[in-house]
Homo-oligomer: A and B are copies of this chain.
Amino acid sequence: MAIEAYAEKNCSIAKPLSFLGERWTVLILRDLFLGRRRFDEFQASLGVATNVLSRRLTTLTEEGIVERRRYSEHPERFEYVLTEKGRDLQPVLLALLAWGDKYTAEKGPPLEVVHGDHAFHAVQICSVCGEPVDSHNVHSRPGPGANSEQRRANGRRAPEWLAR
């Protein structure tokens, strides 16, 4: 109960987690990015319980991440495809993938992401100056949308990676 309450709390990391944090959701998204789109395809690929799959797809639809689209009238059959909002989650998946490949893929990556004709990993750069971003040259501060509590809590504070 408590985490749903927390997700309300004006935090741009907590908000997407309100649905991404539910089990299976990210794996369903992975399947969507791989081109899967039908209920039974997800079920066969993941082995997820059908009631849970059903609920997750409903939530993703409600959140506007996927569109539930009828592809057959008689009988009624549906497929699920990513919306623009859903495709915008790709960086999250690519970041997870890059980390997983680095730390958990002893035999090399099970899946390669391909840009043009070359396999790659996603690297993050600064939207303003274009320099590479890493944990040592980034810190944070309250933004324009911060409430007074956040201004207090996240005001000047040395990030841990600067404090040794």
Contacts and interface: CB of A to CB of B under 8 A. Distances in A.
Interface of A: 2-3, 5-6, 10-17, 20-21, 23-24, 26-27, 30, 32-37, 45-49, 81-82, 85, 87-116, 118-129, 131, 133-135, 137-147, 150, 153-154, 157-161, 163
Contacts of A163: 35
B93 A47 contact: no
Q: Which 9 A-B residue pairs are closest in the complex by CB-CB distance?
A: A12-B100, A108-B144, A109-B143, A87-B135, A112-B143, A108-B145, A91-B95, A107-B145, A15-B104
24 contacts: A3-B23, A6-B27, A10-B110, A12-B99, A12-B104, A13-B100, A17-B96, A82-B135, A87-B161, A88-B103, A90-B134, A91-B99, A94-B133, A95-B95, A106-B145, A108-B145, A110-B146, A110-B150, A111-B142, A111-B154, A112-B140, A114-B140, A115-B138, A123-B124
Given A12-B109, A13-B93, A88-B135, 13 more contacts: A11-B100, A11-B110, A33-B135, A92-B92, A110-B142, A114-B139, A115-B128, A115-B133, A116-B129, A116-B131, A118-B129, A120-B128, A122-B127
